[in-house]
Amino acid sequence: MRFDPFRRPGRTDRADAVITGAGSGIGRALALELSRRGGRVVCADIDEDRARATAAAAPGEALGVACDVTDCDRVVALADTARDWFGGEPDIVVNNAGIAQAGSVVGVVPLPEWHRVLDVNLWGVVHGCQVFAPRLRAAGRGAIVNTASAAAFGTAPRMAAYNVSKAGVLALSETLAAELSGTGVTVTAVCPTAVKTNILHSVSFPDASSERLGERLVRWTGRSPDAIARNVLDAVDRGTLYAVPQLEAKAIWHLKRLLPAPYTRMAGLLERLMR
Ligand code: NAD
Which of 67, 197, 219 for mutating ligand 1's site (highest number of atoms within 8 Å of CB)?
A: 197
95-154 pLDDT, tens per residue?
Answer: 999 999 999 999 999 999 999 999 999 999 999 999 999 999 999 999 999 999 999 999
Classify residue 2: in a domain, yes or no: no
Question: What pLDDT band is residue 5 in, cutting at 50, 70 and 90?
Answer: low
β-pairing verdict for 142-147 and 40-45: unpaired
∠ CA(41), CA(46), CA(51), 5° rounding?
A: 35
Classify residue 1: in a domain, yes or no: no
Classify residue 5: in a domain, yes or no: no
Nearest CA to ligand 1 atom 26: 25
Q: What is the rounded distance in angstroms from the CA atom of residue 260 to the CA atom of residue 181?
A: 29
Dihedral, CA of residue 160, residue 166, residue 169 and residue 175, to nearest 10: -80
Give the three-state DSSP class for 145.
strand
225-239 pLDDT, tens per residue?
Answer: 999 999 999 999 999
Classify residue 73: in a domain, yes or no: yes
CA separation (Å) from 214 to 22, 105, 199, 248, 263?
23, 15, 10, 17, 21
Classify residue 3: in a domain, yes or no: no
Is residue 162 annotated as a catalytic residue, yes or no? Answer: yes
Side-chain half-sphere exposure of 168, counting CA atoms within 13 A: 18
Domain extent, residue 95, equals: 17-273
pLDDT at 136: 98
Could you tell me which residues are beta bridge partners of residue 45? 66
Classify residue 104: in a domain, yes or no: yes
CA of 197 to the centre of ligand 1 (A): 8
The count of domains in the chain is 1
Nearest CA to ligand 1 atom 7: 21
Q: From the alpha carbon of 29, which atom of ligand 1 is closest? A: 26
Classify residue 10: in a domain, yes or no: no
pLDDT at 147: 98
Summarize the confidence of residues 237-266 as an average pLDDT. 97
pLDDT at 274: 83
The model's pTM = 0.97
Torsion sign across C-alpha atoms 21, 23, 24, 29: positive
Which of 30, 42, 46 for mutating ligand 1's site (highest number of atoms within 8 Å of CB)?
A: 46
Catalytic residue from among 123, 132, 162, 205: 162
Burial 124-153 (b: 16+ CB within 10 A, else e): bbbbbbebbbebbbebeebbbbbbbbbbbb
CA of 259 to the centre of ligand 1 (A): 30
> Looking at residue 56, which CATH number applies to its domain?
3.40.50.720
Classify residue 8: in a domain, yes or no: no
